[in-house]
Amino acid sequence: MDFGFSQEDETFRAEARDWLAAHAGPSTDRRTWERTLGKAGWIGLGWPEAGYGNRTATLTQQVVWAEEYARSPAPPRSGHIGENLLAPTLVSYGTDEQKSRFLPPIAAGEQLWCQGYSEPGAGSDLAGVRTAAVREGDRYRISGQKIWTSLAREADWCFVLARTDPESSRHHGLSFLLVPMDQPGRIEVRPIRQMTGTSDFNEVFFDGAYARVEHVVGGEGHGWAVAMGLLGFERGVATLAQQIGFAEELAAVVRAAVESGAVHDPVVRARLVRQWAELRTMHRHALRTLGGAAGPGAPSVAKLLWGGWHQRLGELAVQVRGARAAVGPADWSPTTPYELDPGQHLFLFSRADTIYGGSDQVQRTIIAERVLGLPREPKGAV
């Protein structure tokens, strides 16, 4: 699918660009920024329904907004999990009461969410969930642990995949619960320190935390269908904005190769050209996916493409600078945090790209079983 921009789309682009130029700044507090976006109606453009404080936009206009946002100096989003994952899931599987309760604060930028899926010992295998939720009257009492939870320290709520039938195994007996994070003594969040020195991911421990019965999406025991539906929303228009960021990183690596003279090495030149060609391929694949022309394995193919691509770019970012890539931008001592320049951060952080969001092994299994029709991988009972 190739997007043709009409005059109406270009008017929308001008509005988006002008608004971002007037309001966006890289140093803006991220929670304040979400409220700013919400007040102007820029949250929820891709929701299939309006009326929750959001405005809707055509698919082409969503692409325009994603592109302009990626090019602007706006800070990274904190509300994208609620906006792009939970909200479409509630529209598809939630009750009217759940939509009325949770969608307006997401659209206003007032409520931040995190995703309670992965667990120690299960990783990307969602059917291996062990976190348990036992019903006690009008509430569920939750016990267990989640890991690699993005934004858990900032989030107000978490959507949690938990086992509500203790006799069940694998994808049976799971429920999709909406859990408030402000439960001192019942929920503990521990940051996970990464190679970059930052802590973008967290461990979350549930020790008797509560979720109300009316906050079960899709009904008790139907969590697997809801969780799979949510994963279908995970990779959409945002992938095009991601690729704009990738293009900027690639341009920085090319500049570094020219400055260091590494561009004269034919092997380095070939790798740079390949990175450029593969990025174009990812862009075309993303357009096909948005246009509805791709098959059921398209999200897994996209994840495999960009995860490996980004890792190889990180390796190139170090290779083209030679020995200088090992020297940090500031003096370091055991008592002060070390600093990384953008190329070093790219190299270290991209090591996680083939793990989070569903590891490469899991994506290949999905393609093998659901697209190629190969025999299912044998799994033991939980």
* Chain centre to alpha carbon of residue 55: 22
How far apart CA 169 and CA 174 sit, in angstroms, is 9
How far apart CA 31 and CA 54 sit, in angstroms, is 18
At residue 143, φ and ψ (nearest 5 deg) are -135, 135
As a whole number of Å, the end-to-end CA separation of the chain is 43
160-183: burial string, b at 16+ Cβ within 10 Å, e else: bbbbbeeeeebbebbbbbbbbbeb
Angle (CA) 256 260 264, round 5°: 100
Active-site residue (options: 83, 234, 249, 278): 234
CB 126 within 8 A of CB 97: no
DSSP, residue by residue, 308-329: HHHHHHHHHHHHTTGGGGGS-S
CB 139 within 8 A of CB 213: yes
Measured CA distances, 201 to 75, 104, 151 (Å): 18, 27, 7
Beta-strand ranges (E) seen in the chain are: 113-116, 132-136, 139-146, 157-163, 174-180, 187-192, 201-212, 216-217
Q: What Rg, from alpha-carbon coordinates, does the chain have? A: 22
For residue 121, the SS3 value is: coil
**Which of 233, 286, 240, 285 lies closest to 68, judged by CA?**
240
Query: Is 214 annotated as catalytic?
Result: no
Positions marked catalytic: 234
